[in-house]
Amino acid sequence: MSPRKIRPSLYISVDIEADGPIPGPYSMLSLGAAVAGRQDADGYVPADPERQTFYRELRPVSDAFVPEALAVSGLDRERLRTEGTPPEAALRAFSSWVRQVSDGAQPVMCGYPASYDWTFLYWYLIRFTGESPFGHSGCLDMKTLYAAKAGLPLRSVAKGTMPRELLSRRRHTHHALDDAIEQAELMSNLMLWRPEA
């Protein structure tokens, strides 16, 4: 296959806030997403991460929660029990949004670190919609991307060890949409970064 015939990828930065370490016993309470950029055979083009976004707060799926995990987001589980979007409606709306913004491209979820957010996102997509617009493996971990480009062992990487020019100037607030936008900027900076040899 010639490189010119490869379908472009649309990178979507996703951040979730949850009340525990794994989905099922614990709940995803909010989901934020922002289009980071598009890559084709000619390269990567960043997007304005505030232009195409998605955000929902979800109704919890269980009574279990870890107080320390819940405290990180500051979300009110009792309020979400009545005001949160039912998970099926939230994930169907999210899937529709992903398909709309990625028209003509293959969507790729990206996160920092992707492992936590992807675990919740994929479980919720399959559990509540039966499918994932990203497929079963359409995710990219920004921490791994940085480690590979910088030639560093993965476990030595943290945002504090990255060059300042790669980091967003936005604050990390633990609000899922704020953090998805912040991490979309990190994603674009990483994609365009050419470390010195």
Q: Which residues are bridge partners to 39 per DSSP?
A: 9, 44
Q: Could you give the CA distance from residue 32 to residue 34 in angstroms, rounded to a whole number?
A: 7
Which letter, b or e, does each residue of 27-46 get, where b requires 16 or more Cβ atoms within 10 Å of its Cβ?
bbbbbbbbbbbbbeeeebeb
Neighbours of 81 (CB within 10 A): 11
Catalytically annotated residue among 136, 172, 174, 175: 174
Nearest-5° Cα angle at 54, 80 to 24: 45
43 token code pair: 């390269």
Closest-CA residue to 90 (of 147, 145, 33): 33
165 token code pair: 């020019």
172 carries an active-site annotation: no
Question: Active-site residues: which are they?
Answer: 174
